[in-house]
Amino acid sequence: MEIKVAVAKVGKWASSESGDTLEMIERPRGGISFVLVDGQRSGRGAKAVSNLVARKAISELGEGVRDGAAARAAHDYLFTHRGGKVSATLNILSVDLASKTLVLSRNNPCPTIVVTPDGDLQLIDEPSDPVGVRSWTKPQITELPLVSGTLVVVYTDGLEMAGARSEPVFDVPAAVRELLARGSSGARDVADGLLERALQLDARRPQDDISVLALAVGGDGADGTRRMSVRLPL
Amino acid sequence: MEIKVAVAKVGKWASSESGDTLEMIERPRGGISFVLVDGQRSGRGAKAVSNLVARKAISELGEGVRDGAAARAAHDYLFTHRGGKVSATLNILSVDLASKTLVLSRNNPCPTIVVTPDGDLQLIDEPSDPVGVRSWTKPQITELPLVSGTLVVVYTDGLEMAGARSEPVFDVPAAVRELLARGSSGARDVADGLLERALQLDARRPQDDISVLALAVGGDGADGTRRMSVRLPL
């Protein structure tokens, strides 16, 4: 079996820095974790906040701390350092080889999309607070079996607000369904397809930082080689 | 302009864990760093060592510490914790957008390969000690301009020892030349091509953990989107 993960990430139009941060870290007991943070507002200030939250989370995860505790630590750290005045959304998506599960930790009003092996699309959308502003904020945690055919999509609010003046117009779950119906089953196709649709809605001038992460379980992974590719426009 | 980075990584045959660790971290002043560590010996013990060294290095880099100081800190940390009894090689490859350079930090007897825009292949192979065993070990640091057409290849010793009984038989620089002559100019082609050649030499049963990282500067990066893809066989 094989895990494929794809990230597509673009900054707000004409803004020097993206306020979204995506980091990846190996889990010392086996597996890998992805941490996606969207700092409040945009530009340099948002970047500093999202960096701080992401760094705290990956430093905990890299030491073997469980996901729920890492998310709590990231909240407490931001809350303490910024006096409860700055918020950030935080998603942790982990492939945990010790428990043989996917662990989804969510401090983000944006839902997480899960497509099960039988093609059922589920929204994880229970109320969930960003980190940094309310005492004792906890993540909402979902654990899924590592089963071939599972697809998970996590994103920041820039995606669902694409093209919006006041109300959201981009129905992200519907777009995922459409991409799957058109045969785009891979993580790369889904991440790129969603970002492309958002860029069209924003007339290619994104009104906010947009990040999409898609993870697909499947394939045979027969050659045993781990691969990573990164493209970084300057 | 655009940076493309490709990593290919395989564990020693019939060994549960790779003793090589590759981590990536955003630089808070702009850019990205890749940290590649090969822990002494193989299996679980080597993994613990390489994790420890990689985590220390990325935690420093994530806080904005300069590469040379991060490598020194990783050495001091391992030296202190393991009493100078355990070694690890450490390479840091950074795209530093503050200085607009590539920063190559090397604590590894294996050379780093640089292909310049005019096609010249250079070896960075000054004497360089692994971290962890000798007091005050320093990295060997090279800074290159961020110029289109530059290619950098970093690897762990499993690559150049592929197929070897006692003496190395895999001439890695010659293989890079050959791949380029055949038109493989992309980072992905070079990383995969080198690993494939090593697996052939090892009769597809690698005698050691092998990791290859290739970075290419080029292209136009016109769409402004950062992309990452990960494949993780289970």
pLDDT in tens, A87-126: 999 999 999 999 999 999 999 999 999 999 999 999 999 9
Q: How far apart are the CA of A103 and the nearest CA of chain B, in angstroms?
A: 16
Q: Is the pLDDT of residue A42 over 90?
A: no
Reported ipTM = 0.94
Compare all CA atoms of chain A with the CA of B57 and give the residue at the minimum distance.
Answer: A59
- Residue-level pLDDT at B18: 85
Query: Which chain B residues contact residue A222 at CB under 8 A?
Result: 233
Query: Which residues, 6 or more positions from B24, have their beta carbon under 8 angstroms from its beta carbon?
Result: A23, A24, A228, A230, B32, B33, B34, B35, B58
**Interface residue B188 vs chain A (CB under 8 A):** yes
Decide if B26 and A224 are in contact by the 8 Å CB cutoff: no
Compare all CA atoms of chain A with the CA of B191 and give the residue at the minimum distance.
Answer: A227
Decide if B227 and A8 are in contact by the 8 Å CB cutoff: yes
**Interface residue B51 vs chain A (CB under 8 A):** yes
**Interface residue A76 vs chain B (CB under 8 A):** no
Decide if A3 and B234 are in contact by the 8 Å CB cutoff: yes
- Let me know the angle formed at the C-alpha of B47 by B42 and B53, rounded to the nearest 5 degrees: 120
Segments of chain B scoring below 70 in pLDDT: none
What are the distances in angstroms from CA B192 to CA A35, A44, A47? 27, 37, 34
Which residue reads 């492939």 in tokens?
Answer: A95
- Residue-level pLDDT at B172: 97
Query: Considering CB atoms only, which of B48, B225, B233 is closest to A226?
Result: B233
Q: How far apart are the CA of A231 and the nearest CA of chain B, in angstroms?
A: 5
- Residue-level pLDDT at A225: 94
**Interface residue B232 vs chain A (CB under 8 A):** yes
How, if at all, do strands B101-107 and A210-218 pair?
unpaired
**Interface residue A65 vs chain B (CB under 8 A):** no
Residues A149-195 pLDDT 10s: 999 999 999 999 999 987 889 999 999 999 999 988 799 999 999 99
Lowest mean pLDDT among A4-18, A67-81, A135-149: A4-18
Residues B157-215 pLDDT 10s: 999 999 998 788 999 999 999 999 998 879 999 999 999 999 999 999 999 999 999 99
**Interface residue B14 vs chain A (CB under 8 A):** no
Decide if B48 and A55 are in contact by the 8 Å CB cutoff: no
Residue A148 confidence class, pLDDT cut points 50, 70, 90: very high
Q: How far apart are the CA of B32 and the nearest CA of chain A, in angstroms?
A: 9
Residue A184 near residue A193, CB atoms below 8 Å: yes
- Residue-level pLDDT at A45: 86
**Interface residue A14 vs chain B (CB under 8 A):** no
More confident: A166 or A6: A6
Query: Which chain B residues contact residue A187 at CB under 8 A?
Result: 229
Residue A108 near residue A130, CB atoms below 8 Å: yes
Diameter of chain B by CA atoms? 50
